[in-house]
Structure 1
Amino acid sequence: MDANSPLLFFDSGVGGLSVLEPTRKLLPNAPIVYVADNAGYPYGKRSEAEIASRVPALLGRLVERFHPRLAVIACNTASTIALDHVRSALDLPVVGTVPAIKPAAEMSKTRAIGVLGTEATVRQPYVDNLAAEFAADCTIIRHGSPELVDLAEAKLAGEEITVDAVRSAAQPMFDAPGGDRIDVGVLACTHFPLLRTELSQAFPGVQWIDGGPGIARRIAYLTREQPWPTEPSEGVMVFTAEPRSTLLSTLAHYGIGEVQTL
């Protein structure tokens, strides 16, 4: 294994930065390539067939270009639909993003859990299976919110967003039957941890949980005996279309110093 072989993170936009950040803390010297498929954004409004064909084809091109040691699909929608397709197409380890229903069930006192994701993610049988296996005694209330995805993208691009806007986008989950009992909310879209401050202010009685730290631990485990550079390096961010210019100034916080367009 070449010490300079990078970790490849993939998402439709900036949401996967919520997975990159805890990974950076565990593996500070890991070379990073982060890919935002903004030409295909938003995935949550695309059909399953589109995502199942687009994501493996795009990742195949990226693996040929960057030769990563491991790929991370840092997107719940892409993972729940295309993860098996990607694993069968690529000859390297692929880590997916799973809604954190199991730890949410362990935390919930009221046995009412909210699952907040994209429209595509919350309707997947994968979520049904997780709920049946790990939260069978809980009421699971799902809500797909494309508005929250857009708000997270806007926040990272330096635009001002309000707690009221975030509250309005998530409120239907709490207005659903049993929603008033929700005490744990699963952030089943990697964009949504970027709005954790606003969500906590909007719904102060709810604990919010996401899969980012667990994914970071999985990446560290899978690469535990591999060599890394002796010093940190600036990460590379690749867009599939021209990015918002205002976004670029925020990327340094995540250790990204170079921007490319595919």
Structure 2
Amino acid sequence: MSPPGYTVGVYDSGVGGLSVLRALLVAIPEAHFVYVADQAYAPYGERGAAAVTERAHRITAGLRRDYPLDALVVACNTATAQAIDHLRQTHHDLPIVGVEPALKPAAALTATGHIGVLATRGTVESARFHQLQQRLQKGDGSGPHFHSQACDGLAQAIERDDTALIQTLCERYVHAVQATVPSPQQIDTWVLGCTHYLFAADILRPLCGGQAHLIETGTPVARRTREVLLALRPSPAHAHASLTLLSTADPTMLARLAHRWLGVPEQAQLWQA
């Protein structure tokens, strides 16, 4: 009998975390992933910190009740910013990996020193986000300049797969950031500070400038998760990858978009934490 593989929970407010899941499936093919889309309460980006934290605790407890988790990936920038410290205090025996806007990689990559950041309001206004920016600033003012924009409604439009609204909102928010500098070309690097936004990259890329860098967090999160799992125990030699998709609302959209974006069977289940 093959040794048991890893079991990894992956949690987001909706379908955006599928961008992280895609990277995880490549990096850790021997794992069983349980993906939860908390669509009954999406989007998180415009909810208060207390509500986001309560949902994070409920989802984590529910996953641990139903599955033998080896690790949890909080594949949501807003939930990471507002709730991950609380989760780690409560579930101190469970490795928890979060996602944060990729400000540090952007700072290392930019040639102009001007970086656009597209994120949810919950992320942009969080203390964790401001602390991350401050750590990258230099005392003489020569550090990178972050031009941050709260993109109200964009994650929800991606949840609904509303192409026309996604286009409209992307144009609005990219132009708002570009208006903060004398020339749009000054912003040569863009941080996609919500896991949903990678799925709008084809729309965002020409708006941001064809040569601009778009940075997301899926690959480094997957790399970190693999390191965490290997620290627990060696990788099973013959374990097979598997995936369970769960939604706290009608799972039809989750199943359809997971099939489109990840190429997995169009199957998802209704689940209650």
Same fold (TM over 0.5): yes
**Residue deviations 1:6-47, cap 9 Å, x none?**
111000001111111111111122111000000110101101
Hey, what does 1:167 align to over in structure 2? Answer: 171
**Residue deviations 1:51-92, cap 9 Å, x none?**
122211221121111121100000000001100111111221
Pair 1:194-2:199 in alignment: yes
Hey, what does 2:220 align to over in structure 1? Answer: 214
Rounded Cα–Cα distance in structure 1 between residues aligned with 2:180 and 2:155? 21
Instruction: Select the residue among 256, 259, 264 that pairs with 1:249.
Output: 256
Q: Is the 8 A contact 1:15 1:192 kept in 2?
A: yes
| Structure 2: gaps of 5 or more residues | none
2:46 partner letter: K
1:200 partner letter: R
Report the 3-state secondary structure (helix = DSSP H, G, I; strand = E; otherwise coil) of the residue aligned with 1:43: coil
Instruction: Select the residue among 79, 94, 97 that pairs with 1:95.
Output: 97
CA drift at 1:233: 3.8
CA drift at 1:109: 1.1
Hey, what does 1:61 align to over in structure 2? Answer: 62
| Structure 1: gaps of 5 or more residues | none
Rounded Cα–Cα distance in structure 1 between residues aligned with 2:163 and 2:192? 21
The root-mean-square deviation of aligned C-alpha atoms, in Å, is 2.1
Count of residues in Structure 1 that have an aligned counterpart in Structure 2:
257
Q: Which moved more, 1:62-71 or 1:245-254?
A: 245-254
1:127 partner letter: F
Report the 3-state secondary structure (helix = DSSP H, G, I; strand = E; otherwise coil) of the residue aligned with 1:185: strand
2:176 partner letter: P
Report the 3-state secondary structure (helix = DSSP H, G, I; strand = E; otherwise coil) of the residue aligned with 1:98: coil
1:27-38 → structure 2 map (5 Å cutoff):
27-38=28-39
Report the 3-state secondary structure (helix = DSSP H, G, I; strand = E; otherwise coil) of the residue aligned with 1:187: strand
Q: Is the 8 A contact 1:105 1:138 kept in 2?
A: yes
Instruction: Select the residue among 137, 144, 149 that pairs with 1:138.
Output: 144
Rounded Cα–Cα distance in structure 1 between residues aligned with 2:77 and 2:134? 18
Q: Which moved more, 1:124-133 or 1:32-41?
A: 124-133
Rounded Cα–Cα distance in structure 1 between residues aligned with 2:182 and 2:97? 33
Q: Which moved more, 1:51-60 or 1:248-257?
A: 248-257
Instruction: Select the residue among 114, 117, 121 that pairs with 2:116.
Output: 114
Rounded Cα–Cα distance in structure 2 between residues aligned with 1:70 and 1:15? 19
TM-score (norm 2): 0.86
Instruction: Select the residue among 263, 266, 269 that pairs with 1:260.
Output: 269
CA drift at 1:231: 5.1
CA drift at 1:4: 4.0
Identity %: 30
